[in-house]
């Protein structure tokens, strides 16, 4: 009886793991066959003032910042190159208790001839109140019809805002996000992961049901904004989903490029993934209402992708535990168990070494498995109340 139960658990948990990683992308591919991922043409003004400028929406580009001295100057210079009418764009930099001179460097850069046309305001807060508090206040005070949020550490393609304007001219679209890239990628595994994520988002967008965006850059209709709960961890999921649940589309356009400047060390990357993992379990619980059949394709995407993800460590443990029990009676499960233990042992070994395997395929496997280990720790931290919804910067110093 126990062996039969273990066998059922093994196959059921295994099916869930395989479906989440392989079955869902395949299902998306089949569902989007024949669907053209139509992207609107956008007004290409080529940095020239034209009579059509008045048709573009006003945009507030808000940048929360905490000790961003290393990238703030390049960010402002990048924003100065965006192809959008100056009088239609208001940039707001909120220095949330910065102690490294971020505000001073920003003001210095604004005085450069290439940047002094920017309508940029620097807000200095004496104490660190957290990213969510900054977003709630800054977005609520915005009077522009469109709000764009961007990380200080990411550079934007020059036509990003024009593409945003083109998408939001469709009254059914509420959120638009772009493609996240690295100037210097941390690893082969990370490259493979983001390529996988871009493929997923492209196909989800073809269904009009992209879930989750990257905080490096996304934009939305100001009128659709609701305050984000103060203890929210993954604000770049919660905010778009609140809009999606109102019946508006969240779309992905790879023509919008957000290029990450910072390169994280292995330890920093693992810490970041633990925090994201805690946010994943929080969002799965809080937005479980998205599983209701009334949300259709959104419910399918949410369940297959975002909802199952934080629970993968539990299913992987079920596979490990059941195969360990079955290995006492069946030699084939001894092999399956040995493979699992070998993979986990190698992953933990390299985590403690703060390095990665040399072989390309092993690096991809390491990135995937270490992500699930980080997810397990994040799950434990969240359920034990150790993770709070306030941001903190993880230094890149080693």
Report pLDDT for 395.
34
- 58 vs 375, more confident: 58
Task: Say if residues 137 and 60 touch (Cβ distance below 8 Å).
Answer: no
Q: Where are the domains of the chain?
A: 1-31+265-398, 51-263
Report pLDDT for 185.
62
Mean of the pLDDT values across residues 82-89? 96
Alpha-carbon distance of 367 to 361, in angstroms, equals: 10
- The proportion of the chain whose per-residue pLDDT surpasses 90, expressed as a percent, equals 60
258 SS3 class: strand
Count CB-CB contacts under 10 A for residue 83.
Answer: 17
How far, in Å, are 115, 220, 223, 254, 262 from residue 181 at the CA level? Answer: 25, 21, 29, 10, 11
Alpha-carbon distance of 390 to 237, in angstroms, equals: 15
Residue 393: pLDDT band with limits 50, 70, 90 = very low
Each residue of 227-265: pLDDT tens digit?
Answer: 999 999 889 999 999 999 898 999 999 999 999 887 655
Q: Which two tokens stand for residue 349?
A: 């070994």
Q: Which of 178-192, 299-313, 361-375 has the highest mean pLDDT?
A: 299-313
Q: Which two tokens stand for residue 319?
A: 């596979």
Task: Please report which residue ranges of the chain form alpha helices under DSSP H.
Answer: 2-18, 24-31, 72-79, 102-110, 131-141, 160-168, 188-206, 235-244, 266-286, 297-301, 312-326, 331-353, 360-383
Q: Is it the case that residue 378 has pLDDT exceeding 90?
A: no
What is the 3-state composition of the chain as percent helix, strand, coil, each rounded to the nearest 5?
A: 55, 15, 35
Architecture of domain 51-263: Alpha-Beta Complex (3.90)
């Amino acid at each position: 009886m126990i062996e039969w139960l273990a066998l059922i658990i093994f196959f059921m948990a295994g099916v869930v793991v395989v479906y989440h990683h392989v079955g869902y992308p395949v299902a998306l591919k089949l569902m989007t066959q024949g669907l053209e991922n139509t992207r609107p043409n956008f007004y290409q003004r080529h940095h020239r003032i034209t009579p059509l400028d008045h048709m573009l929406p006003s945009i507030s580009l808000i940048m929360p910042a905490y000790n961003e001295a290393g990238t703030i100057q390049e960010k402002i210079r990048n924003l100065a190159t965006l192809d959008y009418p100056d009088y239609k764009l208001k940039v707001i930099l909120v220095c949330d208790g910065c102690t490294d001179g971020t505000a001073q460097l920003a003001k210095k850069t604004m005085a450069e001839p290439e940047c002094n046309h920017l309508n940029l305001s620097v807000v200095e807060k004496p104490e660190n109140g957290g990213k969510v508090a900054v977003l709630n206040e800054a977005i609520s005070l915005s009077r522009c019809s469109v709000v764009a949020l961007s990380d200080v550490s990411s550079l934007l393609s020059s036509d990003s805002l024009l593409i945003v304007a083109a998408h939001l001219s469709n009254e059914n679209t509420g959120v638009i996000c772009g493609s996240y890239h690295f100037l210097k990628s941390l690893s082969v595994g990370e490259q493979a992961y983001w390529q996988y994520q871009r493929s997923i988002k492209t196909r989800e967008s073809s269904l009009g049901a992209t879930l989750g965006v990257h905080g490096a850059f996304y934009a939305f209709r100001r009128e659709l904004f609701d305050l984000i709960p103060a203890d929210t961890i993954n604000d770049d999921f919660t905010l778009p989903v609140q809009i999606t649940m109102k019946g508006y589309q969240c779309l992905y356009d790879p023509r919008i490029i957000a290029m990450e400047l910072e390169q994280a060390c292995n330890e920093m990357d693992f810490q970041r993934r633990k925090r994201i993992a805690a946010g994943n379990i929080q969002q799965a619980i809080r937005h479980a209402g998205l599983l209701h059949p009334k949300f259709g394709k959104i419910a399918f995407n949410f369940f297959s992708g975002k909802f199952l993800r934080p629970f993968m460590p539990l299913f992987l443990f079920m596979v490990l535990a059941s195969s360990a029990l079955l290995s006492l009676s069946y030699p084939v499960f001894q092999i399956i168990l040995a493979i699992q233990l070998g993979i986990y042992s190698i992953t933990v070994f390299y985590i403690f070494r703060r390095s990665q395997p040399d072989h390309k395929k092993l690096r991809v496997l390491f990135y995937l498995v270490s992500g699930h280990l980080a997810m397990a720790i994040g799950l434990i931290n969240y359920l034990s109340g150790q993770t709070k919804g306030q941001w903190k910067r993880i230094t890149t110093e080693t």
